[in-house]
């Protein structure tokens, strides 16, 4: 009888332990998926008209064309959020689903999100688009990608 009770207690203990383990894994996955949802910025562009005004302001700006449900954008967002505010000062995000996406893409001459376009004195000077970001491994950040992105943004700030 004692061995039977002891066995039941041991089984219950291991079941609770397994439950706690799976619960912690689930919560960790949830926390990671929420962490990279959006790029946190005060510089949000609402429409193409606002984007053109910012470009024409003769400031050196980077416009980040993004979509809230874009998997690649979410990956990039998590790393952009890690950058310090000084670097992000001239970085504006434009969620293109606020308008007709195809018109926005045509108007600003890009095909996919994420795309970052650097405007110097109202003229496009450089860009990192989806192809460059992912071919150069900048958005997946398997090795030195975040550092390279940070350097690119810092160089644009200094120009």
Distance of CA 119 to the CA centre of its chain: 20
- Give the strand pairing for 91-95 and 123-128: unpaired
Mind listing the pLDDT tens digit for each residue in 55-72?
999 788 999 999 988 888
Q: Which token pair is 83?
A: 């950058």
Mind listing the pLDDT tens digit for each residue in 98-146?
889 899 999 999 988 989 999 989 999 888 876 666 655 554 444 445 6
Give dist(CA 112, CA 25) in Å, integer.
33
Half-sphere exposure of 134 (CA within 13 A, CB side): 10
- Which residues contact residue 65 at a Cβ distance below 8 angstroms, ignoring those fewer than 6 apart? 94, 96, 104, 108, 110, 113, 114, 115, 116, 117
In this prediction, residues 34-38 reach a mean pLDDT of: 58
CB 63 within 8 A of CB 92: yes
What is the 3-state composition of the chain as percent helix, strand, coil, each rounded to the nearest 5? 55, 15, 30
In this prediction, residues 6-33 reach a mean pLDDT of: 80
Does the model's pTM come out above 0.75?
A: no
Instruction: For residue 45, list its beta bridge partners.
Output: 94
């Amino acid at each position: 009888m004692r061995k039977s009770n002891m066995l039941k207690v041991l089984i219950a203990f291991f079941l609770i332990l397994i439950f706690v383990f799976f619960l912690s894994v689930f919560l960790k996955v949830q926390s990671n998926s929420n962490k990279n949802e959006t790029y946190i910025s005060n510089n949000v562009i609402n429409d193409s008209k606002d984007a053109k005004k910012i470009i024409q302001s003769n400031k050196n700006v980077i416009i980040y064309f993004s979509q809230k449900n874009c998997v690649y954008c979410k990956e990039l967002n998590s790393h952009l959020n890690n950058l310090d505010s000084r670097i992000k000062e001239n970085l504006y995000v434009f969620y293109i689903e606020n308008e007709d996406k195809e018109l926005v893409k045509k108007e600003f001459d890009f095909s996919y999100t994420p795309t970052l376009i650097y405007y110097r004195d109202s003229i496009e000077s450089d860009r990192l688009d989806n192809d460059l970001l992912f071919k150069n491994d900048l958005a997946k950040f398997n090795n030195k990608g975040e550092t390279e992105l940070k350097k690119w943004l810092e160089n644009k700030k200094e120009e």
